[in-house]
């Protein structure tokens, strides 16, 4: 099982991400793209990475917006897996915008 690092520690290295409101230890970010096709491409690439990592995001998509929440359910909080996936998402978003 991945070791829990916590949202506050994870956020030290993830600009633009925030702690999820409430009691749950999770991080979140909203990505905005030019259009639906780009947002969908972002989600597709992230899904392939998540599958490779066996670590899957919670997300919501409307047109050009993708809202992401990351937390490791087995650890009941944020782990290095979340930090890695968030970093991948950030790097991909830069390429797509």
Instruction: Flag whether 54 is in a domain.
Output: yes
Instruction: Flag whether 55 is in a domain.
Output: yes
Q: Residue 79 belongs to what domain range?
A: 7-96
Q: How many domains does the chain have?
A: 1
For the stretch 13-51, pLDDT in tens is 999 999 999 999 999 999 999 999 999 999 999 999 999
For the stretch 52-88, pLDDT in tens is 999 999 999 999 999 999 999 989 899 999 999 999 9
| CATH for 11 | 3.30.1360.20
- Residue by residue, DSSP assigns 13-58 as T-TT-EEPSSSS--EEEEEE-SSHHHHHHHHHHHHHHHHHHT---E
């Amino acid at each position: 099982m991945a070791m829990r690092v916590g949202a506050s520690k994870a956020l030290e290295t993830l600009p633009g991400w925030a702690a999820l409101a409430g009691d749950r230890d999770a991080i979140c970010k909203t990505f905005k793209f030019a259009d639906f096709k780009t947002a969908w491409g972002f989600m597709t690439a992230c899904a392939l990475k998540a599958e490779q990592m066996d670590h899957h995001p919670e997300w919501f998509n409307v047109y050009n917006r993708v809202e992401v929440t990351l937390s490791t359910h087995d650890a009941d909080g944020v782990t290095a897996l979340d930090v890695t996936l968030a970093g991948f998402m950030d790097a991909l978003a830069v390429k797509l915008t």
